[in-house]
Structure 1
Amino acid sequence: MITNDAIILGMLAAILGFVFYTAGSEHRFWKRFYRIVPTVLMCYFLPSLLATFGIIDVENSKLYYVASRYLLPASLVLLTLSIDLKAIVNLGPKALVLFLTGTLGIVIGGPIALLLLSAIHPEILNVGGPGEVWRGMTTVAGSWIGGSANQTAMKEVFDVGDQVFSAMVAVDVIVANIWMAVLLVMAGNARKLDERRGADTSAIAVLREKVEALQKKHARIPSLPDLMLIAAICFGVTAIAHAAADQIAPWFQEHAPQTARFSFTSQFFWLVIIATTIGVSLAFSPAKKLEGAGASKIGSVFIYFLIATIGTHMNITALKDSPELFVLGATWMAVHAGLMLLVAKLIKAPTFFMAVGSQANVGGAASAPVVAAAFHPSLAPVGVLLAVLGYALGTYAAWFCGQLLRVVGGG
């Protein structure tokens, strides 16, 4: 068993390099493979094999701590730094309505699914121990509203145990990728679906033009000063968030201990909230121009290292012992999907808005561009745009969902 974190880090970096190298390969085998198996799934799955077969020592490794405390807040700053609220508004009300509908579907879908299944199978509330299931579901809410960064935040904020977390990561990845496959099928039949609903698709052509113009305006080759400034901002804000969290959390713990129920006594909670809030505020400053130098790409690199470290804590055999959790996740996704399809039909929205709005929630910046590009390659950044909004909302909405789950789960 490998215990040296430097070696483990190198192995994870090699795995991520292999995944992205093969995902970009023109070889026929890899093209077919990644049409079926999403890249993000491989970034979870391959590291999980290292722990499942006892190749690395996960229990004593500090890599997850470093990724969650240093890389996570830094990535949140860089991903929210690129938010263009005006551009999001210009996508039109239907795109935003469907995106927010997707968020609402996840926030209420979790408690509804837990309520339904606990009525049929009360024992589900005690899987992994009393109160563990609802805690584990908060990590899925974080993932499905924002992404892996928000998922990690919920794990720490709600003190989720590793056993139920392993099972919930498996539920998250499997259910989310099944739904993504459904969305890709819908993308292939978008014209028929839009005609059937009488949806107005003229806005899609306008979107293409705006996205292409945006790309040409901001894209540039990053210079060394650009990269150093990006590092200064993301890690500088991380330092500020740590410093503030170290003062705020103890204050609540001493003067308002009853707020522990709402995570106000958690230093990690304030770390994530402060980093996200400062990142959003920087989107209204000149620092936003750093997006043209690849700020969000660097943030994504941090996120994928975080994903890899999370993967080392994922037990791929966890669902075998708790298949009811998969049913729970599927029911949850059904509520989200049903609400999305209903609202899309009522407002006669293009399938593009429904699919990307859903995936921007469920899949985040890693896969929303994939679904958007299935409609047209130039529209991939639209998926990123909405997904970044999901990163900003993810922590807040998932935390609120967690409070609802606490009520249903008896926490």
Structure 2
Amino acid sequence: MITKGFTYVAFLIFFASMLVLAEKKSKLKLFNYLPAIVLIYFTAMLLSTVGFWQNTKEITSAYKALKDNLLPAMIFLMLLRCDLRKILKLGPKMLIGFFSATISIMIGFIVTYMLFKGFFEADTWKAFAALCGSWIGGTGNMVAVQGALNIPDAKLGYTLLMDSINYSIWVMFLLWAVSFSPKFNKWTKSNTKLIDELGAQLSKEEGKTRKEIEFVDIIVLLGLSLLVSAVSMYLAPFLPQSTFFQGQTWSILIVTALGIIFAMTPVAKIPGSTALSNVMLYTIVALIASRANFTELTKAPIYIIAGFVILGIHALLSVLAAKIFKLDLFTCGVASLANIGGIASAPILAAAYSEALVPIGVLMALMGYIVGTGGGLLVGKILSIL
């Protein structure tokens, strides 16, 4: 049984690294359906359930210090890839497609919560807010919403469960729908010529970016992200406080704004922000899971059903938006997966249409990082009133 804070942190990071290594090197099909980050959560949760470590004062202090300080740094690094100038190049139709998907997902969460409210615990709106953040942006946004709303770690078990099962089936559905693209585009009367031209242009620009990561890149990004984290947490207490906007919420909003600003500076061209932010993300997910317990997941089926209802509402509203704005199936599908799947899966769906369109999938997924935290918090605020 682990009782020391440093041993606890060291084991979790090593454990996460082994699962990431297994995903990279192994040919197991398991990882196609359960990515390393999901396995990290549920395996760490299992170890917590069987008492592999004890929640001593030292472990609790190590958990809180590391998680609270890494979270803003991770958000900052994650947003360095989100250059608004590049995103605006997507043009009005792609942006309409993306935000139609975002709004339909938010509506799906609100309507579903109202329908299933009687089956859930009193504070389930917080778990829904976290999942909404993930389904607009990514796991990083989910963790950001969790930190901002002080959501109990155990509640994220339901969120990860829905994020894994519902999301996997949704990805398969969107890939299956690719073959129906010509009929769908004819029905919506969409024009795909501009999308092909944009994809070729973005691919050309992507080829000019430096890819090799050097020591100086890592230490500059690490130092800057930690400094931004410290500054955001220092400034947060000076801002107006309410039951919803408290210290942690403000620090996350501050660091989000700083990340968007720095993404338009030369700092964004330093390679390595993706790798470093992922190290922080996987560490934070392992820490959160280590405080959860399987005995608390007693209503898993109803949450999974609710997840499919959310996706159903999102699909219907997306098809309606496609007809109104004359959007093609590529735009609708990639916009949906850019929200729900993020950077890991949107480019895969884009490639299913054409390799030249992969950069569009990447940019749309990055846009989700920008709005995911705010969208999740907004949905959380609405659900807290219902």
TM-score bracket, normalised by the shorter chain, equals 0.7 to 0.9
Question: Which secondary structure does the structure 1 equivalent of 2:51 belong to?
Answer: coil
Q: Contact 1:15–1:46 (CA<8 Å) still a contact in 2?
A: no
Question: Which secondary structure does the structure 1 equivalent of 2:207 belong to?
Answer: helix
**1:218 positional shift:** 1.2
Hey, what does 2:145 align to over in structure 1? 154
Residues 41-83 of structure 1 show CA distances to partners (whole Å, capped at 9, x for unaligned) of 3343333332233323467445653453222211211221222
Hey, what does 1:217 align to over in structure 2? 208
Q: 1:381 to 1:391 in 2, by over 3 A?
A: same
Hey, what does 2:345 align to over in structure 1? 367
Q: Does residue 272 of the first structure (1) align with residue 252 of the second (2)?
A: yes
Hey, what does 1:140 align to over in structure 2? 131
CA distance in 2, matches of 1:379, 1:58: 48
**1:315 positional shift:** 4.5
CA distance in 2, matches of 1:375, 1:395: 29
Q: Contact 1:77–1:237 (CA<8 Å) still a contact in 2?
A: yes
**1:314 positional shift:** 4.9
Hey, what does 1:56 align to over in structure 2? 53
Residues 380-404 of structure 1 show CA distances to partners (whole Å, capped at 9, x for unaligned) of 4433322222122122221111111
Q: 1:203 to 1:298 in 2, by over 3 A?
A: farther
Hey, what does 2:160 align to over in structure 1? 169
Q: Contact 1:154–1:399 (CA<8 Å) still a contact in 2?
A: yes
**1:192 positional shift:** 5.3
CA distance in 2, matches of 1:54, 1:315: 10
CA distance in 2, matches of 1:318, 1:99: 35
Q: Contact 1:63–1:309 (CA<8 Å) still a contact in 2?
A: no
Q: 1:380 to 1:307 in 2, by over 3 A?
A: farther
Q: Contact 1:180–1:359 (CA<8 Å) still a contact in 2?
A: yes
Q: 1:62 to 1:364 in 2, by over 3 A?
A: farther
CA distance in 1, matches of 2:13, 2:126: 30
Matched AA of 1:65: K
Hey, what does 2:375 align to over in structure 1? 397
Instruction: State how 1:61-140 maps to structure 2 within 5 Å.
Output: 61-62=60-61, 64-118=63-117, 122=118, 124-125=119-120, 127=121, 131-140=122-131
Matched AA of 2:210: A
Matched AA of 1:286: P
The Cα RMSD (Å) is 2.7
TM-score (norm 2): 0.88
Overall identity of the aligned pairs, in %? 28
CA distance in 2, matches of 1:79, 1:207: 24
Instruction: State how 1:2-401 maps to structure 2 within 5 Å.
Output: 2-25=2-25, 29-30=27-28, 32-57=29-54, 60-62=59-61, 64-118=63-117, 122=118, 124-125=119-120, 127=121, 131-187=122-178, 189-191=180-182, 193-194=184-185, 197-248=188-239, 252-253=240-241, 259-260=242-243, 263-264=244-245, 266-290=246-270, 293-315=271-293, 319-377=297-355, 379-401=357-379
Tell me which moved more, 383-392 or 193-202: 193-202
Q: 1:359 to 1:52 in 2, by over 3 A?
A: farther
CA distance in 1, matches of 2:211, 2:147: 37
TM-score (norm 1): 0.83
Tell me which moved more, 99-108 or 297-306: 297-306
**1:302 positional shift:** 1.7
**1:211 positional shift:** 2.9
Residues 342-366 of structure 1 show CA distances to partners (whole Å, capped at 9, x for unaligned) of 2123333232221221122122233
**1:205 positional shift:** 2.6
Q: Contact 1:132–1:161 (CA<8 Å) still a contact in 2?
A: no
Hey, what does 1:256 align to over in structure 2? none
Matched AA of 2:44: P
**1:241 positional shift:** 0.4
Instruction: Provide structure 1 residue ranges, at least 5 long, that are not aligned to the other structure.
Output: 254-258
Instruction: Provide structure 2 residue ranges, at least 5 long, that are not aligned to the other structure.
Output: none
